[in-house]
Amino acid sequence: MLRSRGLRLTAQRQLILDAVLELGHATPEQVHAAVREVAAGVNITTIYRTLELLERLGLVTHTHLSHGSPTYHSVGEDAHVHLVCRNCGAVDEVDPELFRPVTDTLAAERGFQVDIGHVALFGVCGRTECGERRG
Amino acid sequence: MLRSRGLRLTAQRQLILDAVLELGHATPEQVHAAVREVAAGVNITTIYRTLELLERLGLVTHTHLSHGSPTYHSVGEDAHVHLVCRNCGAVDEVDPELFRPVTDTLAAERGFQVDIGHVALFGVCGRTECGERRG
DNA sequence: TTGTCTGCAAAGGGTTTGCAGAACT
DNA sequence: AGTTCTGCAAACCCTTTGCAGACAA
């Protein structure tokens, strides 16, 4: 896959892709930590460069969950919408089909094509510690 | 409002709130630029501190649109969902009512209360320059 | 052997913090 | 007058860039 584009298959690239596959949602720093457990010498710079490369190749995507760093996940997995609890930070996933009516409406009425894999909804999750009463 | 909480009403705070009201969606830097047109000496630090304060007071909120800086907007305005074109960067707004079925479902099935004012949907807008054919 | 890839170090953008002086109440 | 707020400068985090050596092909 890399080779077919004249790119090189290195140990680092394999480890980084494996880490993204394994971690599910991971920031560059989390990927770095995971890779380092196997290969201590890998530099954070390489993480950034490789994530960008893998994204260009369509193997991973990133989403912005809350503040700070983006999180990467593999494209092979089922697309999903993220639910981010702004209280405890937990990230849950939802089937994008739930949004079908909404995205269809936006496409029809505005010509806006929603990239459902990038969607993150903020709010408060159902845990007792986080739950709030709302009007 | 500020005074009632023992806080002080300063020229800077008024200018910053005015700028947020006027700009609609604005990054801290954009707020800074707007404020500077009226009061050149105001420091970016004050922008950050004041936006945080106004948010604690419930007067403004912020959303993360795409990469980079968050954008702030006033709470008094109608809540709205953001549509961000990842091609041209345009930000459009949608009536949150459109999402009612979805948010109701998430609340009922998962106990997740979506904060609809924070929602940003990424995708491709309807402009000819940005429009894409999709499967 | 050749060209890409990596590590290192340093620069860059955006945001936060410490402190002394300025300003609201 | 007493405290809060501001500006300045420096620190901070995350990310990007330049370069020389390392390595896949």
pLDDT tens over chain A, length 135 residues? 777 787 899 999 999 999 999 998 899 999 999 999 999 999 999 999 999 999 999 999 988 887 778 999 998 777 888 898 877 878 888 999 999 999 999 999 999 999 887 788 888 998 887 875 443
User: What is the domain-level CATH number for residue A114?
Assistant: 3.30.1490.190
Can you list the residues of chain B whose pLDDT is less than 50? 133-135
Q: Check whether residue A26 and residue A64 sit in a common domain.
A: yes
CA dihedral over A94, A96, A97, A103, signed as positive or negative: positive
Mean pLDDT for chain B?
88
Q: What pLDDT, on a 0 to 100 scale, did the predictor assign at position B134?
A: 43
Give the CATH number, domain containing residue A54: 1.10.10.10
Q: Which nucleotides of C are covered by protein (CB under 7 A)?
A: 4-10, 14-18, 23-25
- Number of structural domains chain B divides into: 2
Q: Are residues A69 and A11 in the same domain?
A: yes
Question: How far away is chain A from the Cα of B32, in angstroms, using its nearest Cα?
Answer: 20
Among residues A31, A58, A74, which one ends one of the domains? Answer: A74
Amino acid at B128: T
Strand D and chain B: which residues 61-120 have CB closer than 7 Å? none
So what's the pLDDT on residue A120? 85
B100 and B64 within one domain: no
Q: Are A16 and A50 in contact (CB under 8 A)?
A: yes
Whether residue B9 is found in the same domain as residue B69: yes
Residue A118: what pLDDT?
A: 79
pLDDT at A133: 46
Examine the domain organization and report whether B99 and B60 are in the same domain: no
Q: How far is the CA of A133 from the C1' of C24 (A)?
A: 38
On whether the CB atoms of residues A102 and B102 are closer than 8 A, the answer is: yes
pLDDT computed for residue B133 by the predictor: 46
Could you tell me the residue range of the domain that residue A34 belongs to?
Answer: 3-74
Cα(B89)–Cα(A47) distance, integer angstroms = 26
- Say if residue A65 is in the same domain as residue A10: yes
User: A2 CA to C7 C1', in Å?
Assistant: 22
